């Protein structure tokens, strides 16, 4: 579907800074479902011999870190889904379509969100990715009437 992507092995954070040039374990989601430049769901995949809910806690943690509403866990035999907003959990027969996820996540229409959803993020061919705090801040600000204040390294301010 146009405007939808599945990001594989998506880096969430680079890992905690431990000092002396070392970092802790990085957080990486198996799959992130993106539609209209919004991360809507996280899928944690495990091997066939693991239980269906083996990766559920990890999927929930990653969905929370990415501010995604849905988390899914799968072992190749079935799919277990969680709606993080209302707390509904259970086995599902198939993954929802991007439009279904969008309508469940954003039930109320928002003109600004719809305008920004069609503008692609300039990532210079995948070289540049926004930092964790910027992604979460931009997501939070787009859902409210507030403006996002960005301080650039040059000291220049930019408002979105």
Q: What is the mean pLDDT of the chain?
A: 80
Q: Tokens in use for 55?
A: 């990766």
Give me the percent of the chain exceeding a pLDDT of 90: 34
Task: List the one residue out of 115, 52, 122, 50 whose CA is nearest residue 80.
Answer: 52
Q: What is the CA radius of gyration of the chain?
A: 17
- Cβ-count burial of 80 within 10 angstroms (0-12 exposed, 13-18 middle, 19+ buried)? buried
Among 64-68, 78-82, 106-110, 135-139, name the one with the lowest average pLDDT: 135-139
pTM above 0.95, yes or no: no
Mean pLDDT for the stretch of residues 65-84:
92
Mean pLDDT of the region 45-74: 91
Question: What whole-number distance in Å separates Cα of residue 143 and Cα of residue 139?
Answer: 7
More confident residue, 132 or 47: 47
Return the structure tokens found at 134.
Answer: 């910027």
Which of 42-46, 104-108, 155-159 has the highest average model confidence (pLDDT)?
42-46
Token pair for residue 119? 């503008």
Helix (H, G, I), strand (E, B) or coil at 118: coil
Q: Are 140 and 66 contacting, i.e. CB atoms less than 8 angstroms apart?
A: no
């Amino acid at each position: 579907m146009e405007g939808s992507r599945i990001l594989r092995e998506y880096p969430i954070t680079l890992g905690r800074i431990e000092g002396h040039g070392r970092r802790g374990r990085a957080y990486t989601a198996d799959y992130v479902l993106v539609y209209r430049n919004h991360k809507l769901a996280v899928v944690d995949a495990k091997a066939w011999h693991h239980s269906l809910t083996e990766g559920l806690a990890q999927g929930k943690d990653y969905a929370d870190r990415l501010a995604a509403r849905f988390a899914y866990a799968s072992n190749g035999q079935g799919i277990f889904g969680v709606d993080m907003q209302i707390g509904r959990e259970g086995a599902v027969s198939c993954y929802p379509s991007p439009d279904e996820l969008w309508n469940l996540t954003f039930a109320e229409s928002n003109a600004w969100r719809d305008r920004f959803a069609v503008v692609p993020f300039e990532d210079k061919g995948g070289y540049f990715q926004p930092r964790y705090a910027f992604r979460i801040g931009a997501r939070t600000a787009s859902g409210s009437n507030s403006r996002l204040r960005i301080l650039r390294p040059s000291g220049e301010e930019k408002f979105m």
